[in-house]
Structure 1
Amino acid sequence: MSTDDKNRAIAAAILPLVGGAGNISSVAHCMTRLRLGLRDRSLVQDEALKALPSVMGVVEDDTYQIVLGPGTVARVTPEFEALVAEAPAPAHTAEELADRGAALKAARKAKNATPFKLFLRRIANIFVPLIPALIGCGIIAGLNGLLINLGRLPGLTPALAAMASGFMALIAVFVGYNTAKEFGGTAILGGAVAAIIVFPGVAKIDAFGQTLSPGQGGVLGALGAAVLAVYVEKWCRRWVPESLDVLVTPTLTVLISGLVTLFGLMFVAGEISRAIGEAADWLLANAGAGAGLVLGGLFLPLVMLGLHQALIPIHTTLIEQQGYTVLLPILAMAGAGQVGAAMAVYLKLPRNGSIRRTIRSALPAGFLGVGEPLIYGVSLPLGRPFVTACVGGALGGGFVGLFSMLGDKVGSTAIGPSGWALFPLLDGNKGLGETIAIYAGGLLVGYAAGFVATYFFGFSKELLEEFDVETEETAGTEETGVRADSPDSPTPTSEPVKV
């Protein structure tokens, strides 16, 4: 079977289990998840969906999210969209489905959504689409730095520097565009207002007794400017006559928002950005080990809730100021703790072929820093191993934070990758070899701590009795020669258990 046929088969297997094409109102994806808007949540067959070999877990939020893993999700999503488009119209009316889905969605939102969480998710929606460019440019920047340090290919390094720096120089424009789009305004107007921040001519403008600098305020200023532009645009739409709207509304939007940006937002956002950088430096210099323990230990719960994307503006601000973010390598230790915990679970449940198969399939992604498959397929359903994985992340983060206290900063030139995939993006205030060694040491500490904590404290007697049992998959392997990774083999439940 070709790769295209395989991806289409995965999409075809998922579609009927989520209620068919008529139940799909929207399709999107992030780095690891297929995100579906559903008209009727009750039509989804959760257990059958989780049992698909290609599905690593499901998450219910504003959208129904199916964890497929990096790479796979980007290839399956177009196939899924094509199947939805090709499907015939449902026999029941769209109005009936829409009414039922709207009622269920409203009930879930009223019960679980809070203004703070909704705000964080909206901020995440602005920055997540930028991650591929951040990764690509960051890796090119790392390669360029390596060539410069080695004195190799001097004719190529200026070109690599231009490729790596071009996106970061204009990132404010992309943030403004996405912000206006997310908040319900005209996206290009948000980008136009944000572009003022990076325009070289702002160096001729004085505000608050000082001369502005191109890029002052960075992504935070761009975000604020675009939000302001959306509100100005909406005000204009209400009051400007339709006959004049096409001329007056965009002009007033850019003019009013631009003036406020130049004579207010750029200065304020610049001060906030500077404070973020100084706070991060002070925290790691004076309380690095403790900060690392806290950040590394709490990051897995943020990933589980999908709120980790809200840290992207902070990372981006640090990269703009210092060339790298010192927080990401510490947070990456959470993935190391998760990997160590999964390996301990593998040894503690020798008779449960189903869970062991899930671990074998998810560990490669775990080593590369993609934590969702192990979280939703292994540690979270078991309960205690999720907590002990956090312990591993905390100790790994504490290790990296300790070296920051000693003066050895470890940072990443881009965001997105983690685990082993972060090595090409590493940078710091000392030599590259020393930076790599500290990060690698943190990973080893996270692996070891997650393994030890889970092996000795991750299972109660009752939990072992419940899960260390021979599954149908194991029996089939021993008695009939059925492969443990057969598509017909069962997968572990994703329901939390009491421990």
Structure 2
Amino acid sequence: MRNDPASTATAVLTRVGGPANVTSVTHCMTRLRLTLADPAAVDEEALRALPGVLGVVADGDSRQIVLGPGVVEAVTAAVAQQVGEQGASRGAAVARQAGEQAASRGARLKEDLRRRNSTPFKTALRRIANVFVPLIPALIGCGILAGLGGLFVNAGWLPALTPALSAVASAFMALIAVFVGHNTAKEFGGTPVLGGAVAAVVVYPGVAKVTAFGAHLAPGQGGVLGALAAAFLATRVEKWCRGRVPGALDVLLTPTLTVLVPGLVTLYGLMYAAGAVATAIGTAANWLLATTGAVAGLVLGGLFLPLVMLGLHQALIPLHATLIDQQGYTVLLPLLAMAGAGQVGAALAVYVRLRHDLSLRTTIRSALPAGLLGVGEPLIYGVSLPLGRPFVTACAGGAAGGAFVGFFAMLGDKVGATAIGPSGWALFPLLAGNRSPALTAAIYAGGLLTGYLTGFLATYLAFRPAPAPAPAT
């Protein structure tokens, strides 16, 4: 599949109802994300059986197809090209075919799918994730540059270059509210640039002259949460205006009101409220780790793999972004990253146990490098989840690693990450904390080793594969 993304794209599109059934094509680090006009037209079993497809997550009217890092980018590009080229010419015929298939399966099936996969909670999480997932590459790149800049400052290297490196690394985070506003408006059906314009109010230096609730506002107050709320309000105002403003005045009044009304509400309400929520998140995270760090780490590390399996882990990005904005790093990500360590340990145990299963051992060998770098889906969908019990023991390994890191947080040694996205070994360049870089890295490494070892031992002891068949005589 790596060598022929076009054929993989064709096979995927055939099994999701054809190009005309696809309304949007995106991807994250490991998953091809397709939004579908008719989810009932998907042949789930055939899609999961495709070579190279590691798993499929059904989420309302979308399908997340796990392909793995490196592969997903090429396949996504091929899918987008085929949807664009074939969708126009075949759209009407395929749409009719999809409609006939849906009718034959019955409205009850569609309603059942919608009820199970489009709950308000899951839909809200998915839409929030859609706002922040496109920002991950910039968060990773700027986070790594920030880490390098800190290393150069501490070591006294390249003093003439470090201010420039700091500016390049910090500029995106200083304006992240604008990008959040742009993506929020796009996701909720508004004009993206108007969402960005309203969200820009949050970071504009001039807000320091505005008094709200008896105090001057601070630029950036409310952070990404304020930007998210401001842009969402802007989309509601814009939609209201579109249906009521006369056509001749729409081009003038609608943008003006869309910026003015939410802008004033942001200044005199949302920034203050979002700032209070953001402060509460930071205070709660610090309190949680300082008082119940080991327990908190155990719970977070143990439950993260199921969130990844369901595709809900991206909804935590606003919390990470808020902590990074407040404290310079998120203390939650290193705890959650321990889930990947448990997964690696479990996969190694399966590899040892299944000496005669050459196919599965090949899958493990190919997926382990990604697993060590924190990309867990290939091991989840290719190894532990199909086998059942190793998935549970992998969660146990993640819980043990999280408890290890959380225990040191109780002692006052915080381990955080300056960016969102990488985990496993890939998180080392992004580590930060309130102690020396060496101690922070040592604690994180200790958590990884604990997760590897616990995941391996728990799986090795609990997993009893069927005996190999006796050779024919």
TM-score normalised by the chain length of structure 1 = 0.88
2:32 to 17, 31, 34: 34
Instruction: Verify: 1:435 aligned to 2:440, yes or no.
Output: yes
d(CA) in 2 for partners of 1:430, 1:92: 63
d(CA) in 2 for partners of 1:91, 1:449: 55
The 3 A distance-change label for structure 1 pair 420 and 101 is: farther
Q: CA deviation at 1:296?
A: 0.4
Contact kept, 8 Å, 2:41 with 2:98, in 1: the verdict is no
Bigger CA drift: 308-317 or 339-348?
A: 339-348
d(CA) in 2 for partners of 1:8, 1:44: 19
2:287 to 282, 287, 311: 282
d(CA) in 1 for partners of 2:358, 2:13: 27
Q: CA deviation at 1:95?
A: 2.8
d(CA) in 1 for partners of 2:315, 2:136: 13
d(CA) in 1 for partners of 2:41, 2:276: 50
After superposition, residues 247-266 of structure 1 pair within 5 angstroms as 247-266=252-271
After superposition, residues 49-448 of structure 1 pair within 5 angstroms as 49-62=47-60, 63-87=62-86, 89=90, 92=93, 94-98=95-99, 100-101=101-102, 103=107, 105-448=110-453
The 3 A distance-change label for structure 1 pair 41 and 245 is: closer
* Percent of aligned pairs sharing the same letter: 68
Question: In structure 2, what residue type is equivalent to 1:78?
Answer: A
Bigger CA drift: 385-394 or 343-352?
A: 343-352
Q: CA deviation at 1:233?
A: 1.4
SS in 2 for 1:411: strand
Bigger CA drift: 191-200 or 348-357?
A: 348-357
TM-score normalised by the chain length of structure 2 = 0.93
Which residue is equivalent to 2:457?
452
The 3 A distance-change label for structure 1 pair 417 and 11 is: same
Contact kept, 8 Å, 1:352 with 1:470, in 2: the verdict is no
SS in 1 for 2:185: helix
Q: Which runs of 5+ in 2 are unaligned?
A: none
How many residue pairs match? The answer is 465
Q: CA deviation at 1:417?
A: 0.4
d(CA) in 2 for partners of 1:21, 1:236: 34
Question: In structure 2, what residue type is equivalent to 1:324?
Answer: Y
Q: CA deviation at 1:39?
A: 5.3
Question: In structure 1, what residue type is equivalent to 2:247?
Answer: E
d(CA) in 2 for partners of 1:289, 1:188: 44
Q: CA deviation at 1:27?
A: 2.4
d(CA) in 2 for partners of 1:408, 1:161: 25
d(CA) in 1 for partners of 2:187, 2:12: 28
Q: CA RMSD in A?
A: 2.3
CA deviations on 1:199-237 (whole Å, 9 max, x unpaired) are 001111111111110000000111111111111112212
The 3 A distance-change label for structure 1 pair 37 and 254 is: closer
SS in 2 for 1:152: coil
Contact kept, 8 Å, 1:39 with 1:100, in 2: the verdict is no
d(CA) in 1 for partners of 2:65, 2:418: 30
Q: CA deviation at 1:284?
A: 0.6
d(CA) in 1 for partners of 2:188, 2:79: 27
Bigger CA drift: 140-149 or 30-39?
A: 30-39
Contact kept, 8 Å, 1:273 with 1:317, in 2: the verdict is yes
The 3 A distance-change label for structure 1 pair 348 and 224 is: same
Question: In structure 2, what residue type is equivalent to 1:140?
Answer: L
d(CA) in 2 for partners of 1:313, 1:275: 14
Q: Which runs of 5+ in 1 are unaligned?
A: 476-499
Contact kept, 8 Å, 2:41 with 2:101, in 1: the verdict is no
The 3 A distance-change label for structure 1 pair 360 and 230 is: same
Q: CA deviation at 1:43?
A: 6.0
d(CA) in 1 for partners of 2:85, 2:241: 41
Question: In structure 1, what residue type is equivalent to 2:297?
Answer: G
Q: CA deviation at 1:52?
A: 4.3
Contact kept, 8 Å, 2:302 with 2:398, in 1: the verdict is yes
Q: CA deviation at 1:37?
A: 3.5
d(CA) in 2 for partners of 1:163, 1:225: 27
d(CA) in 1 for partners of 2:409, 2:343: 23
The 3 A distance-change label for structure 1 pair 11 and 264 is: same
Contact kept, 8 Å, 1:40 with 1:100, in 2: the verdict is no
Contact kept, 8 Å, 1:353 with 1:470, in 2: the verdict is no
